[in-house]
Amino acid sequence: MHLADILFTQGFGTRRVCAGLIEQGLVGVYRDGSVQADVAYAQSAPDLQTEGLRFQVQGVDWAYHARAYVLLNKPAGYECSHKPGAWPSVYTLLPSALRLRPNKNAIQGVQAVGRLDQDTTGALLLSDDGQFIHRLSSPKHHVPKLYQVICKHPVDATQVAKLLDGVVLDDSPKPVRAAACAQTGELALDLTLTEGKYHQVKRMLAAVGNRVEGLHRARIGSLDLGGLPSGQWRWLSAPELAMLHTGQVAQG
């Protein structure tokens, strides 16, 4: 594949823009184990193999990914929308190449796998793979998500039991149950859900007579944030992606 076409697939602009970046010497390619990106090679390179390809665009290092699968540690004060209302978009935390990756659908770039409220923090997956997004978002696949909840009022055993037995929400004829629930402090819970209804954690806590004061998604299946700082993102590793694709993530 020609380098300009490769840059285009990675979201660095139209093919004409990408060709211009190469001609202006703003793109370098790492090759043969080199620690320095070679601009001259990028300008004269024939078709390139994409596997393991690394390059640099205007000083930014990049590795080729046929599909984008990333994990973001969402901070509070951001909306999971391309057209946010009162708060900035979570997509502004990502580099423009991820936001502009070409897509067959009407919307460009990566999309959030489900949403977190603007005041909720923690693990958020994003991808440009529609099947991946659908599978991990669908309640049919029962992907568990662990939330760390800070409550307004003290938590008691009765509330924990009700959350496990199921509570009725106004938009669900069937009781909504927590897959797991454990009190971790006087005002704190670890709550695991396999669905993603609107404001679900907040409404479930309200249904048992409490109120959410702080909410953090710590894990999606067996995938956690590790040491990823708030507001930062990273590519999923090959083993992590393999777990997500094979469904092992649902064992978390």
Q: Which tokens in the block code for residue 227?
A: 């040491």
91 shares a domain with 78: yes
Cα-trace Rg, the chain: 21
Q: pTM here?
A: 0.91
Which of 63, 85, 114 marks a domain boundary? 63
135 shares a domain with 22: no
- CATH number of residue 194's parent domain: 3.30.70.1560
Q: Determine the residue type at 175.
A: P
**How confident is the model over 193-222, as pLDDT tens digits?**
998 888 999 999 999 999 999 999 999 988
236 shares a domain with 184: no
**How confident is the model over 124-139, as pLDDT tens digits?**
999 999 889 888 887 7
Q: Which tokens in the block code for residue 70?
A: 């990333």
Q: Determine the residue type at 218.
A: A
Cα separation, 75 vs 216, whole angstroms: 9
**For 209, left (φ over 0), alpha (ψ -120 to 50), or beta?**
left
- Summarize the chain as % helix, strand, coil (round to 5): 30, 25, 45
- pLDDT number for residue 148: 98
Helix axes 238-246, 130-137, angle to 10 degrees: 60
Q: Is residue 216 part of a domain?
A: yes
pLDDT at 249 > cutoff 50: no
Q: Is residue 252 part of a domain?
A: no
Which of 16, 41, 63 marks a domain boundary? 63
- CATH number of residue 44's parent domain: 3.10.290.10
The residue ranges of DSSP E strands in 75-153, in sequence order, are 111-112, 121-127, 145-151
Q: What's the pLDDT band for 240 if we cut at 50, 70, 90?
A: very high
Tally of domains in the chain? 3
- pLDDT number for residue 16: 96
Cα separation, 206 vs 189, whole angstroms: 14
Whole-number average pLDDT of the chain: 92
- pLDDT number for residue 37: 95
Q: What's the pLDDT band for 251 if we cut at 50, 70, 90?
A: very low
Q: Is residue 209 part of a domain?
A: yes
Contact predicate 169/176, CB 8 Å: yes
Catalytic residue ranges: 117
Q: What's the pLDDT band for 250 if we cut at 50, 70, 90?
A: very low
Q: Which domain holds residue 190?
A: 144-220
- Residues 6 or more apart whose Cβ sits within 8 Å of residue 64: 6, 10, 50, 51, 52, 53, 54, 55
- CATH number of residue 96's parent domain: 3.30.70.580
pLDDT at 170 > cutoff 90: no
Q: Is residue 225 part of a domain?
A: no
